[in-house]
Every structure is written in C-alpha cells, then in structure tokens.
Amino acid sequence: MTTKDEKEITSEFGKGLTYCIGLFLAHAERSDPPITLNGAASLFFNASSDHLYELESLHIKDINLRKRIEEWRDKCLRWGHGFEKPKATKEDKEWAIQEAKDLLRLIDEKLLKIKTIKGSWE
C-alpha cells in the first residue's frame, strides 16, 4: 500500500527506448500463426506494438536517428491498431523486425559509442 507521499508508477507494456524495442522483438521469437491464417501479420503487430506506446525518443539528439525510430514506431502502431488499409503483410512484419534490430545497433553506435557487428545468426 502506498502513502499519499509515495507514488506508484506503472506501465502495462513498458516504458523506455531500448526496453520497448526489446519487448517488441520478443514477440518475433514466438511461434507464428499458420501462414494460411488471414491477417497473421496484423495479429503480430496487434500484440507486439503495444510495447511501443510509451517508447521514449525525445532525448535522442541525433535528429535522423530519432526520426527513423519514430517513423518505425508509428508504422508498427498503425499496422497493429489502425483501421487503415492496406493491412500489414508478412513483408511488413519482416521489415519491422529487421528495422528494430538495426535501430538497436544504431543506438549502440550513435548514442553509446559502442562498435557493433551484425550477427550472422541474427
């Protein structure tokens, strides 16, 4: 129980930058619905993009990186929770997963100054 002086801060699907991208990617490792299931990519985005609502990008000073992250997030949210056509495709899902991995590497390189090497078993 919290007192009036204490505030309990929670987030249903996570808050942060790399944390939210990581939670999104965790859905990529789960088994896919059967390929014949209509809307399988939309189901993936519906579950995985929940983690992107509280993705924090405002502290990124590299404008191009911040823009790329925000565009990726917005596409994933639109595919997962939008009602616009066209619906998400298998190719959209593959792109979003690869882009998330690429963004994590760019965050390492540009923000943390850590040299990365793309894994051959990525």
pLDDT tens per residue, range 22-63: 999 999 987 666 555 667 888 899 999 999 999 999 999 999
Contact indicator for 29, 115 with CB cutoff of 8 Å: no
What's the pTM?
Answer: 0.85
- For residue 81, the enclosing domain spans 18-111
> Is residue 8 in a domain?
no
> Is residue 57 in a domain?
yes
Say which amino acid occupies 23: L
Q: CB neighbours of 33 closer than 8 A, spacing ≥ 6?
A: 40, 43
pLDDT grade for 3, boundaries at 50, 70 and 90: very low
By the 10 Å C-beta count (0-12 exposed, 13-18 middle, 19+ buried), 66 is classed as: middle
| Rounded Cα distance, 40 and 28, in Å | 12
> Is residue 67 in a domain?
yes
- The enclosing H or E element of 99 equals helix 90-106
> Is residue 12 in a domain?
no
> Is residue 3 in a domain?
no
Domain count within the chain: 1
> Is residue 121 in a domain?
no
